[in-house]
Amino acid sequence: MTPSQINDMLGKMDEVRNVFVMSQRSLPFLEELFRFLKEISPTLDEINRYIEETARKMPRATTQLQSVSEANRLATTEILDMVDIVIARIEEIRALVEQGARLDTALADADDRILLLLREQLQDSHAVLLADVEQLLLRKDAIRKKRIALSEPLFDGLNEIRDRANRIMLSLQVQDITAQQITAVNHLIESIRSRMHLLVSRINPAGYDGTVEPETAAVSTTFDPDASYDHTPDRQSMVDAIFEGQADALPEENVSMAKSARTENDALPSPLSGRMSLSDSKNDLTGVPESGGDGYEGTVAHLSRNAPSPPNSEKASQDEIDRLFNGKQ
């Protein structure tokens, strides 16, 4: 054995010694790890059971939310029925009052004709009697005018009730909006359930019986995830600003889209635009996005899905609307 071979052997032995030292040092850590895994195992089983149980409860939550939505819809229909009846009754009362007014006018005409006849027949022979009749008819006319005056606030009241009934009807738009909000929540629950299904099947593939499998078909997918019952005029003002050709005032990322929209929409001009001209009436549809294979897919079709809103798709604030109008963006 040469000295270099001896040196090599000594080097290898040193490495082996290092391994032993390393193993000796890591042994307590490995023991600790084994102990931890042994302890965590029942906890993992517990978590697994909890996830399975929660996932099983989710369809019930979805069904309950759908019941809420359905009850809301039925109640709204009942209110709409009532509003329709109220409006119909108002119209009946208005018609009766108007009929009464017409009868009053006819009575007044008849009185005028009676007075005319009496004047012709009795003027010379019964002057006193004629004067009395004239006085009576004048009193009658004054009473009739008072009654007409009383019916004016009645008309005002009927108009006000009708206006308020219409406002109630418009407020019932809340049903459509809450239905979309509930559908959005249901969609979210189904997404979580789907993830849980995946998790459970991965944690315990042998014990998994598939009972938490997602039932996404049960949830409608036609909803606006950002639907809100917002009565402020801000959003409509923003829409009107865009339609009025304020594209130049939009944030940079929207400018090209908006300008493009104006060009393409010139085929059927926006009547809301303050820049309308007769030349806008041409029916040149060359700018309209072409269809895809199914006949309905256009260049904007991706925006019609229920995808979550990207970060730059904010709702307009009043300040922003002011900037849109003033072109100070």
Partner 1 sequence: MLLHQETLAMKILIVDDSPTMRRIVSNNLREIGYTQVTEAEDGEDAMTKLAEDTYDLVITDWNMPNMDGLQLTLAIRRHERLHTLPVLMVTTRGLKQDVIAAMQAGVNGYVVKPFAADVLKDKISLILNYREHIAS
User: Residues 232 to 251: which contact partner 1 by CB under 8 A?
Assistant: 235-236, 238-239, 242-243, 250-251
| Phi, psi angle pair for 210, to nearest 5° | 80, 10
Alpha helices in the chain (DSSP H): 3-122, 127-171, 173-203, 234-243, 252-265, 318-326
Question: Should residue 309 be labelled a site residue for partner 1 when binding is judged by CB under 8 A?
Answer: yes
207 or 251: whose CB is closer to partner 1? 251
Task: Enumerate residues 26-65 that contact partner 1 by CB under 8 A.
Answer: none
Question: Should residue 160 be labelled a site residue for partner 1 when binding is judged by CB under 8 A?
Answer: no
CA–CA distance, 311 with 306 (Å, rounded to integer): 15
Minimum distance of partner 1 from residue 73's CB (angstroms): 6
Question: Should residue 310 be labelled a site residue for partner 1 when binding is judged by CB under 8 A?
Answer: yes
Give the one residue of 121, 171, 191, 318 binding partner 1; rule: CB under 8 A.
Answer: 171
55 or 238: whose CB is closer to partner 1? 238
CA–CA distance, 150 with 254 (Å, rounded to integer): 59
131 Cβ contact partners less than 8 Å away, ≥ 6 residues apart: none
100: left (phi over 0), alpha (psi -120 to 50) or beta: alpha
Minimum distance of partner 1 from residue 74's CB (angstroms): 10
Minimum distance of partner 1 from residue 276's CB (angstroms): 7
| Structure token pair of residue 190 | 């189904």
60 or 231: whose CB is closer to partner 1? 231
Question: Should residue 116 be labelled a site residue for partner 1 when binding is judged by CB under 8 A?
Answer: no
46 or 322: whose CB is closer to partner 1? 322
- From 276, 312, 275, 272, select the one nearest 320 (Cα to Cα): 312
Q: Rounded to a whole number, what is the distance in angstroms from the first to the last CA of the chain?
A: 86
Task: Enumerate residues 258-297 that contact partner 1 by CB under 8 A.
Answer: 258, 260-262, 264-265, 267-272, 276, 278, 281, 283, 285, 288-289, 291, 295-297
Minimum distance of partner 1 from residue 281's CB (angstroms): 5
Question: Should residue 131 be labelled a site residue for partner 1 when binding is judged by CB under 8 A?
Answer: no
- From 315, 297, 299, 326, select the one nearest 230 (Cα to Cα): 315
Question: Should residue 188 be labelled a site residue for partner 1 when binding is judged by CB under 8 A?
Answer: no
Give the distance from CA 20 to its chain's centroid: 69
Task: Enumerate residues 206-225 that contact partner 1 by CB under 8 A.
Answer: 220-224
Question: Should residue 170 be labelled a site residue for partner 1 when binding is judged by CB under 8 A?
Answer: yes
CA–CA distance, 255 with 192 (Å, rounded to integer): 37
